[in-house]
């Protein structure tokens, strides 16, 4: 069975990919500098190389014997990217250029890349398609778009997967793989840890949406990784495809809170707060291309995402 290099394989999404790839019989090499990932999230069947994308020699040795790369590694906090744009460009864009150079030297021409809905910026379309204008509004989104363009220029077999809001968790043979970011900024983990003393801040209740709160498209991390495995099988020589991954429908912040209350069997303390800078009102993916190109259909609903997140956090 083929060997896959998973960069960022110690993070929330990358570690889930690593475990599911190992379940499917792939040999996985994880490349992660552990700056935000966790060594204990890396599946015991994988080989962990602790190194940075900024280290070309480490990349060259990690790639030996690999058939393809799934590239998750990178800095991923929108707010931090606004404060430190050079850091985001350096790690994400320069780091990926090192990876592409090392792949070219090693003769490896297959990559599946973790891109983002942040490449689109303020949406002009609802739902957002892969043809929608990409005009990022923060350095994080700009770095993902720059990488997408670099991959196109490299002329290799590639699929960039543009994630919308990823949630839920996977129970691997080594246990649950929870979302554990520090700081945590994502809605569902914050809803689950809200208390009366530290209520969930609802960022804006005056948006032009059905209940005044922002609408996002949530997709279960296990469905998301299934799309990566399908993408590995859908790579075509010298073609770079861009594919959105979401569920194709949206939930408001208040709907996420209501679903969480249903799962938890208790009230979630909240406080109405000002809008968060840079948030668009509505972000919903068109997933027609994911269906037609990859044969992918997400199957896990919002309640499953929330209940799996709960199970993963209480282990």
Question: Is position 156 an interface residue for ligand UDP (rule: CB under 6 A)?
Answer: no
Residues between 39 and 68 that touch ligand UDP (CB under 6 A): none
- Alpha-carbon distance values, 98 to 31, 64, 90, 103, 213 (Å): 13, 15, 11, 9, 41
How far is 249 from 230, CA to CA, in rounded Å?
A: 21
**Member of 44, 83, 276, 315 binding ligand UDP (CB under 6 A):** 276
Residue 203 touches ligand UDP, criterion: CB under 6 A:
yes
CB nearer ligand UDP, residue 56 or residue 269: 269
Only one of the segments 63-71, 104-112, 154-162, 181-189 lies at the binding site for ligand UDP (rule: CB under 6 A); that segment is 181-189
Q: How far is the CB of 62 from ligand UDP (least distance, A)?
A: 29
Q: For ligand UDP, which stretch binds (CB under 6 A), given 41-49, 105-113, 194-202, 301-309?
A: 194-202
Q: Which of residues 237-266 bind ligand UDP (CB under 6 A)?
A: 253
By CB under 6 A, which span of 25-33, 58-66, 183-191, 223-231 interacts with ligand UDP? Answer: 183-191
Exactly one of 122, 173, 185, 267 binds ligand UDP (CB under 6 A); that residue is 185
Of 20-28, 120-128, 145-153, 201-209: span binding ligand UDP (CB under 6 A)? 201-209
218 catalytic per annotation: no
Q: Tell whether residue 200 is a contact of ligand UDP (CB under 6 A).
A: yes
For 274, counting Cβ atoms within 10 Å of its Cβ (0-12 exposed, 13-18 middle, 19+ buried), the class is exposed
| Binder among 201, 254, 288, 291 for ligand UDP (CB under 6 A) | 201
Distance between CA atoms of residues 250 and 256, nearest Å? 10
Residue selected from 106, 214, 231, 235 as contacting ligand UDP according to rule CB under 6 A? 214
Active-site option among 12, 88, 120, 140: 140
C-alpha 161/C-alpha 72 separation (Å) is: 10
CB atoms within 10 A of CB 95: 24
- Residues 246, 162 contacting (CB under 8 angstroms): no
Which C-beta is closer to ligand UDP: that of 179 or that of 226? 179
5 binds ligand UDP (CB under 6 A): no
Minimum distance from CB of 199 to ligand UDP (Å)?
Answer: 10
Q: Is 224 in the site for ligand UDP (CB under 6 A)?
A: no
Which member of 190, 230, 264, 293 binds ligand UDP (CB under 6 A)? 190
Residues in contact with ligand UDP, total (CB under 6 A)?
A: 14
Question: Which residues in this chain contact ligand UDP in the complex, by CB under 6 A?
Answer: 165, 185-187, 190, 200-203, 214, 216, 253, 276, 279
Q: Which residues form the catalytic set?
A: 140
């Amino acid at each position: 069975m083929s060997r896959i290099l998973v960069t960022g394989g110690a993070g929330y999404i990358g570690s889930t990919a690593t475990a599911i790839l190992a379940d499917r019989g792939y040999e996985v090499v994880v490349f992660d500098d552990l700056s935000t990932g966790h060594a204990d999230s890396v599946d015991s069947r994988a080989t962990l190389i602790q190194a940075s994308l900024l280290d070309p020699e480490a990349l060259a040795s990690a790639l030996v014997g690999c058939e393809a790369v799934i590239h998750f590694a990178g800095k991923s906090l929108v707010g931090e990217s606004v404060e430190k744009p050079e850091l985001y460009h350096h790690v994400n864009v320069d780091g990926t250029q090192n990876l592409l150079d090392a792949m070219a030297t090693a003769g490896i021409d297959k990559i599946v890349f973790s891109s983002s809905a942040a490449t689109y910026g303020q949406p002009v379309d609802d739902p957002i398609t892969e043809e929608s204008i990409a005009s990022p509004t923060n350095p994080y989104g700009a770095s993902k778009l720059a990488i997408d363009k670099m991959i196109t220029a490299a002329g290799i077999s590639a699929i960039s997967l543009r994630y919308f809001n990823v949630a839920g968790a996977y129970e691997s043979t080594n246990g649950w793989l929870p979302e554990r970011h520090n700081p945590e900024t994502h809605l569902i983990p914050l809803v689950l840890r809200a208390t009366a003393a530290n209520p969930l801040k609802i960022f804006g209740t005056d948006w032009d949406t059905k209940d005044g709160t922002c609408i996002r498209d949530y997709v279960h991390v296990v469905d998301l990784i299934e799309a990566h495995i399908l993408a590995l099988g859908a790579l075509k020589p010298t073609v770079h495809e861009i594919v959105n991954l979401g569920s194709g429908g949206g939930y408001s912040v208040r709907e996420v809170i209501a679903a969480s209350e249903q799962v938890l069997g208790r009230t979630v303390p909240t406080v109405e707060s000002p809008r968060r800078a840079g948030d668009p009102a509505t972000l919903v993916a068109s997933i027609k291309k994911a269906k037609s190109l990859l044969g992918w259909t997400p199957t896990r609903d919002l309640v499953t995402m929330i209940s799996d997140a709960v199970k993963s956090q209480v282990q």
